[in-house]
Amino acid sequence: MNINFDINKNEISLKDFIDINVNLADLKYTYFIRNIGYNNKYEYLKLIENSYSGRCLTIKNSLYQPSYEESVKFSNIYDNFTANNTNIGFSFNNIINIDLDALLIKNYNELIEIFKSSKKFTSESIIKNFGSKIIFWINKYFPLLFKDSVAPKLIYCGNIKEQEYLFLYLLAKTGCNILYINPEKDIQLDKKLLELSYVKEYSFKSKIEIPDFVENKKIAPVTNKIKIPPRPNRNQNNTTNNTNNNTNNNILEYEELAKKASSVVMINVFENSERIKTGSGVVIAPNYIVTNFHVINGGTSYSINIENDSKIYFTSEIVKYNKNLDLALIKIDKTITPIKLYTGQKDIVRGQKVVAIGSPLGLFNSVSDGIIAGFREINNVAMIQFTAPISHGSSGGALLNMSGELIGISTSGFDDGQNINFAVSYKSIIPFVRGFVKV
């Protein structure tokens, strides 16, 4: 028996949603609700806690992200599926007398069309990256949800991205009731995409720390926010230092500067599934990485390595680029502490000490030091010449002053000379990232 599940746009409370209990065979429609804000904080949190112990999968802040090996595997499944339109890697195994497998394939193909129509510009690689990730999530979450004949429920708490939102829509169209909860704000999407779900807004909106769950914790990792106490200024008596020229007078030791490597990433550039080169990038805002255009140029997708994080993060989202400045901005679904951008309160000077952080020859987050050797204008772009050693793979890395502020993005060097290296100056970076970074 074939069936379609429509999405009910009628209002439903959080409590009523948690209490839903219906068999798939009796299901006439599903809910896909965005619950924004709250009326009573205590009752709101209590209901969420109650959902953890009920027959409901709860996810907080992020869906599971694929590893490199998983990305390759499901990219191949995507290719095979587009060729035969039958095998998506997951089967319901006839849990009820409804052809859910055919319904899933139909809904998946419709979702691809929705994704394409929502973009002003798209390409085969962008569509493939989206389609592959959806297939990965299908194989990750559908077995957890569709265990028997009872219609499943999923609550998504916190911030959400467009791809995750569309996956929730796919779930709702395939027989899963969906409730998206955000006590602070609604997701910002195109109006047509927002119309795929029903929004219920409440009187109060503020940031609430939603409690961690227990049973579902292993299913979707929680984004832990670590509060780092401010580090005391050990150089308060050193009020002037013309050589280092750091306007905040907070001169760091090299050991402290090396810790800034946690905000410098290694970028692996893939053309389809083949890695073609590596480079570096600097976290300039919590989800944004600035790098060189020549690093990302030619790639269809990118994997990001972050220091002290074993997970590999994938993206194909190039937010903006400028060939002349040799700068590009990419976005990832990972919140990282950014490096502060130097805003030019006082001109940097020749002879000033600097530190470079990058991944030369793939040696992840190497740290070197030197001085500013001069200032050049190359192809009408302001460049900082510096002596800190860099090599191939350092491109896109950070050039820091001794206060740990970003003054340049390493971009090139002369192999025939000793430590004649160049970085795009903060004077070009500032207008490029304006709107994404508060400067």
> For the chain, which residues make up each domain, given as ranges?
6-201
Average pLDDT over residues 415-431: 82
Q: What is the pLDDT of residue 231?
A: 38
pLDDT band at 52 (very low <50, low <70, confident <90, very high): low
Does residue 89 have a pLDDT over 50? yes
Give pLDDT, residue 224.
31
Q: What per-residue confidence (pLDDT) applies to 226?
A: 29
Least confident of 47-61, 117-131, 272-286: 47-61
Q: For the purposes of burial, counting CB atoms within 10 Å of the CB of 369, is it exposed (0-12), middle (13-18) or buried (19 or more)? A: middle
Q: What is the mean pLDDT of residues 159-176?
A: 93
**Dihedral over alpha carbons 332, 336, 342, 348 (to 10 degrees):** -100
Contact 108, 90 (CB under 8 A): no
3-class SS of residue 304: strand
Q: Is 258 exposed, middle or buried (0-12, 13-18, 19+ CB in 10 A)?
A: middle
For residues 340 and 406, give the distance between their C-alpha atoms in angstroms, rounded to a whole number: 6
Pairwise CA distance, residues 356 & 127, whole Å: 36
Encode pLDDT of 241-273 as tens digits.
444 455 455 788 888 898 999 999 999 999 887
What percent of the chain is modeled with pLDDT above 90? 38
Residue 138 CA to residue 123 CA, distance in Å, equals 23
The band of 125, judged by pLDDT with boundaries at 50, 70 and 90, is confident
* DSSP bridge partners of 267: 279, 304
Mean pLDDT of 222-233: 34
pLDDT of residue 203: 86
Q: What are 2-31's pLDDT values in tens digits?
A: 567 889 878 787 778 888 888 888 888 999
Between 205 and 213, the higher pLDDT residue: 205
Question: Which tens digits make up the pLDDT trace of 318-341?
Answer: 999 998 899 999 999 888 999 999
d(CA 70, CA 65) in angstroms, rounded, equals 9
Half-sphere exposure of 314 (CA within 13 A, CB side): 24
